[in-house]
Chains A and B, each alone.
Chain A
Amino acid sequence: MSGARDGEACYRLRGVVRVVSPTFELRIGELDVPRGQVFALLGPTGSGKSTLLRMLAGLESPTAGQLLAGGQPLYDGGNSALGRAATLVFQRPLPIRGSVRTNVEYGLRVRRERDSARRVNQVLAGLRLDRIAAQSAGSLSGGQLQLVALARALVVHPEVLLLDEPSAHLDPAHVALVEEAVLADQRERGTTVIWATHNLFQARRVADHVALVLDGQVIENGPKPAFFDDPRDARTRDFIAGKMVY
């Protein structure tokens, strides 16, 4: 992905279909994800945001269609480079056995990266996890686990950071902490961030670009001002107005 040309979309999806179950499929006609921006995938629970993120992370392949990452097909029989360029923070993070620190340094260890202690300490401090760094990850609350999951993703300095409701189990102060940490990292390193959220207000706060996902389809997407101030689709207008559109 790092070899992609400037101005090129980070991801380009054309006619992508992913059959999830006999009753649900993700179907995206056309979608470009701009590079180096925060792209919010807005939509209710069960709309297909997580499925889309797993495909973009290279963890699940589309049933049909073309998915390009940095101009290259994402599924060409195993694109291992992408696996290390994009990192997905799952909605329900699963820790490995060991301490918070062990979990946070995992990605650096498997990549055999140097200078890991300094980076781990920085990320731990940034997310206020330094005080519980020695604590067993198995003893953490759901909210603390989400912070650890974000920390272990940020520490590997991904080119693309995929976030699946990363603040769903957090109180407002920690939501602010997460948003601050992700946006600071994005500004500093120019990371492409794709942030799935059902929270309209969060999308307004963090995004440069917004897409509305309803019932497995991208209804509308565009730069934040246009999306919120001048939506083209009636369902987008209703969603923004807080009406039930699903």
Chain B
Amino acid sequence: MALEKITQVTGRGVTVAGDEIDTDRIIPARFMKCVTFDSMGEYLFYDVRKNEDGSDKKHPLNEERFQGASILLSGANFGCGSSREHAPQAIYRYGFRGIIAESYAEIFFGNCTTLGIPCFIATKEDIAKISAAVDADPSLEITLDVENEKIVFGDQSVTAVIRETAKKALVAGKWDMIGELKEAEAEIAAVAAKLPYMAK
């Protein structure tokens, strides 16, 4: 299965500020009553973005000037909580192609990488700097340079970290692992044969 090699992602940014933004906040559980991911994008951050009558609340994603943004900026422990892939699916289907945060929850990070979303780790200060630049000029282009682990915005740049395994997978176009996992059928059977509980 040939996948796109994700060496860099470019787009405009928007900041959803705060630490500990959990997966229930990203996609409230009641919207997971579905058998496909197709409509997930509509419900991204729903309860902080919409009033109960469906009208808009004050939220960066509702601001005209940030429409079309594809790089999401946030705080520490982004995506904590549930393992629901509905969360990164909502982020992706809304139109985001990269995330910058101080840190990520483990399962969320893995789910994003599997969808080909680079998750960059930057310092609080650098995120604040990029956020300020985006706020001053929402049309500013941000580039997440996966290969060189840096974030370029306007004429500035900061170094950022992307976990080595994720970087390798994205750059090689092997972020969806199914092809590589399938190749090892014989080895899998050999390991399974040594484990009594795997017997039929």
Do A and B bind?
A: no
Chain A residues with CB under 8 Å of chain B are: none
Chain B residues with CB under 8 Å of chain A are: none
